[in-house]
Structures are given as structure tokens and as C-alpha cells.
Amino acid sequence: MARVTIELYGIPRLRAGVASVTVRAASVREALVALGQQHPCLEGSIVCQGLPVPAYRVALNGDLAPLPNAQTLRDGDVLLLLATDAGG
């Protein structure tokens, strides 16, 4: 499994109290499951069984193109957990 960093912004960062989390995961889905396990305060409201809730999305290495949850991850990949409502 790959060693992956998940960067948190906004509400997830506020709730988890950390700017980033390192997990071991083979896919985006596994990474988000691991995130929910490490920070149960995010499970249900931010991620739900490996999927972001509709108000959130995940970007891989700064690329904002839609990402399949089964996307395979490699060592060093960085996932950004972002609110879908950008701007203001």
C-alpha cells in the first residue's frame, strides 16, 4: 500500500485539529476510510465509509479533475480534501 498524505482545509482541519494526515492506502477510497478511522470526528460529516459527503471532494496532487474513488495511489501522492463550494 502507498504512503499518502491527505491535506485538510477549512472545516475538516478545524475539526481534526491537524493540517494533514498520513495514511497507508491503495486507493482514494481506502485513504478516506483510514482518515475516518484516524479522526472519527470527520466520519459521517466529512467522509462516509470512504467517500466524501456531497459538500466535499478530493483532488490528487493539485489536479482538480474529478477523481474515481477506486483511483490507485502511489507513494508520495497528496490528496486534498476540499469543500465543493469554492470562493465567496
Partner 1 sequence: MFWVRVFALSVPGYHGRYLRIDAQSACAECVPLRSATLQRWIGGVGLGVRLLMLENRPGIDPLAPDSALIVALSPLVGSPLTTSAKFAVVGKSPLTQRVCDALSSSHFALAAKRAGVDALVIRGAWTRPVVLLIDGQDRDVPLVTLRDARDLWGLPAAETETRLRATLGPEWHIAAIGPAGEALIPFATISHDGRHAGRGGLGAVLGSKRVKALAVRGNRRTALADPAQVVRLARDLSARSFGPATEKYRELGTVANLLVFNRLDALPTRNFASGQFEAAEALAAVDLAPARRLARKSCAACTIGCEHLYPSRDGSAVRLEYESLFALGPLCGVSDPTVVLEAAALCDRLGLDTISTGGTIAFAMEAARRGWLDPGLPSGRRLVFGDGAALLEAIGLIVTRNALGALLSLGCRRLAETLGGAAPDHAMHVKGLELPGYDPRALHAMALGLAVAARGADHNRSGAYEADFAGQTHRRQGDHRSAAAAIDAEDRAALIDSLILCKFLRGTIPNLYQTAAVMLSAVTGWTFQPDDLLSRARAIVDLRRAFNEREGATPAEDTLPPALLSDTDDPTDPTPRLSRDRLHSLLAAYYQQRGWTPDGWLPAHRRAELLAEIEEPPLRG
* Chain positions contacting partner 1, by CB under 8 A: 7, 9-11, 13-14, 45, 53-57, 59, 62-66, 80, 82-88
CB of 26 to partner 1, least distance (A): 23
Q: Is the Cβ–Cβ distance between 27 and 70 less than 8 Å?
A: yes
Residue with cell 490507485: 72
Minimal CA–CA distance to 23: which of 76, 61, 71, 65? Answer: 76
Q: Which of 11, 26 has the CB closer to partner 1?
A: 11
CB of 7 to partner 1, least distance (A): 7
CB of 77 to partner 1, least distance (A): 15
Q: Residue 11 is placed in which grid cell? A: 472545516
